Amino acid sequence: MGKKQAGTGPLLRRPDNSAFKQQRLPAWSPSLTAQTVLPTFYILSLVCLFLGIWLFITVENTYELKVDYTIAGTCERCFDLRKHAITSRTACTCTVSFQVPKTFPGDVFFYYGLRNFHQNLRRYMDSRDDAQMVGRKNNLKVLDAPISVPIAPCGAVANSMFNDSLTVMYNPADGSEIQVPLYRKGIAWYTDKNVKFRNPPANDTFTLQQAFEGTTRPLYWQRSVYELDDTDFNNNGFINDDLIVWMREAAFPNFKKLYGVLNRAQGPFTDGLPAGNYTLSINYNFPVEPFRGRKELVISMVTWFGGQNYFLPIAYLVTSGLILVVAVILTTVYVKVGKKGKNMEE
C-alpha cells in the first residue's frame, strides 16, 4: 500500500514566503540615461587609448633582430647537402655576417626560429613516450614494429629535434674577434627539468651510457642521447636543456625557442650586446627543405611586457577607436532626437 500524501492541494508547490524565494532582496537597478552612458563610452575610449599608446611605446623600446641563415652567407652548400638522406650526416659548417644597428641594453636572449614547421599536428604531438622520458626502465627499451632496436628517445618529436649549433662572434672596430658568451643551461622550465624529464637510474659505478645500453639514437640525430653535451655530464640524457625545450611543442607553425642567454660578466658585454658587426657560425645539421621552411637566429630583449609583440597595443588602439565611433554615433542620435524623444518627428 502506498503512503498517503500529506498537505496535498493547489498550494503544495508554492515557494516559502521568504525574501530570497519571493525575490524581494534589495537590488540596484541602474538608470541607463544619456548622461551616464555617453561619459562611460568616452572614458573607456580614453583608457584603451592610453593603454595602447603605453604598450606601443614599451614594445618600440624592446629591440629584436632576426637573422635568416637558411641559405645566407656560405650556408647554401650546407642547405643543398641536407636535401638528400645520403648526405644528411655529412658535417657542414657555414658563416653569416650581420650587423646589430643599436645596442641591446640589459639581458639579451638568443633564440633559434623555425618557419612553416607544424609542431601542433596532432599525430606529431602524440608521437612521443612521456613514460620513457621520466626514466622508467620498463619503457626505455620498448620495441614498436617495425623497429628492431629500441630508440631513446623515441617518437617523431624527439627525432626532429633542432640540432644546429650556433656560435656568435663579435667583430669590434679594432679588427679582433670576440665570442659572444652564452648561458646554455637553465633555459628549460623548472617543472620540465625536475618533474617531467628524468634520466634512468645511474651512479658512479653504473654510468648513464650503461643505463642506455641496448638502445640506439633517433634516425636524424648526430649523437646519442647520453652524449649531447660534451662540457657538462649533468646536462646529458633526457634532462638535456635543449631536448627539454624542443619537446615543449609550439602552437603555431612560425615559432622561436630559447637557445641561450647573454653572459654579461665578460668583456664588452657587461652592459648588454653592443652595436656593431657580428659573424654567425653554424654547424648546419637541421634540414628545412622537406617542409619548405626557414631557419633564423633571433636576438631579443625581454621587458615586463615580454618580447617584441605588437598585437596587444594595436588591439587596444583599435578598440579605443571603435568605442569612440560608437560614442560619437550615440551622441549624434541623442542631440538630434533630444531628451525623451521631444525632437522626434511624428
Provide the residue ranges of all domains of the chain, joining segments of one domain with +. Answer: 63-302
| Amino acid, single-letter form, for residue 276 | G
DSSP secondary structure letter of residue 223: S
Contact 62, 305 (CB under 8 A): yes
Contact 78, 93 (CB under 8 A): yes
Those residues whose C-beta lies under 8 Å from the C-beta of residue 75, and which sit 6 or more positions away, are 69, 94, 96, 282, 284
The pLDDT assigned to 201 comes to: 86
One pLDDT digit (tens) per residue for the chain, 346 residues: 445 555 566 667 788 888 888 888 888 887 888 888 999 999 999 999 999 999 999 999 899 999 999 999 999 999 999 888 777 778 899 999 999 999 999 999 999 999 999 999 999 999 999 999 998 877 787 766 566 788 889 989 999 999 999 999 999 988 889 999 999 999 999 999 999 999 988 877 788 888 898 888 888 888 899 999 988 888 999 999 999 999 999 999 999 999 999 999 988 999 999 999 999 999 999 999 989 999 999 999 988 888 888 999 999 999 999 999 999 999 998 888 866 555 555 4
Q: Is the peptide bond before 30 cis (omega within 30 degrees of 0)?
A: no
The pLDDT assigned to 10 comes to: 66
Strands (E), 217-323: 255-262, 272-273, 276-283, 294-301
Tally: H helices and E strands in the chain: 10, 11
The gap from C-alpha 124 to its chain's centroid, in whole angstroms, comes to: 18
- What is the Cα–Cα distance from 280 to 286, expressed in whole angstroms? 16
- What is the Cα–Cα distance from 78 to 98, expressed in whole angstroms? 19
Q: Which residue has the cell 612521456?
A: 130
The pLDDT assigned to 279 comes to: 97
